[in-house]
Amino acid sequence: MPRKRRKLSKEMEAEIKAAQKKVEFISAMIRDIREEDIQNEYAEAFSRVHVASAHLTQLYDSEGVTEESEGTLALYKGLLSQFEEDYEL
């Protein structure tokens, strides 16, 4: 049976690229924290955002735009917003 074509979206691709850059930027800022305890606390808190971004990228690459990828994008945005509210960089 032929594989179903995945639905693509330039808007979602742009959001995914922006998410990847944001994750790289925040990860770099966390690595620049001098106090190891604080650095570990920030890294642990940010890990859920990082995982959501990576899952979103993988999901979009394999399946395209689906309810799950749209939900994962919303989850990423919510987690990022929560992290930015709770932690100052």
**Paired strand residues for 7:** 64
pLDDT of residue 72: 98
Q: What is the pLDDT of residues 13-22, one digit of tens each?
A: 999 999 999 9
pLDDT at 5: 77
Domain boundaries, the chain: 11-86
Q: Which among 47, 55, 48, 50 is positioned nearest to 71, based on CA atoms?
A: 55
User: Average pLDDT in the 25-39 region?
Assistant: 97
Q: What is the pLDDT of residues 45-70, one digit of tens each?
A: 999 999 999 999 999 999 999 999 99
Q: Which of 69, 81, 80, 78 is nearest to 11 (CA)?
A: 69
For residue 81, give both structure tokens: 């917003």
Mean of pLDDT over the chain: 95
What is the distance between the alpha carbons of residues 11 and 8, in angstroms, rounded to a whole number?
9
Joined tokens for residue 7: 């639905």
**H helices within 1-89, ranges in order?**
10-31, 36-63, 67-86
Q: For position 89, what pLDDT does the model report? A: 85
Angular region, 31: left φ>0, alpha ψ -120 to 50, beta rest: alpha
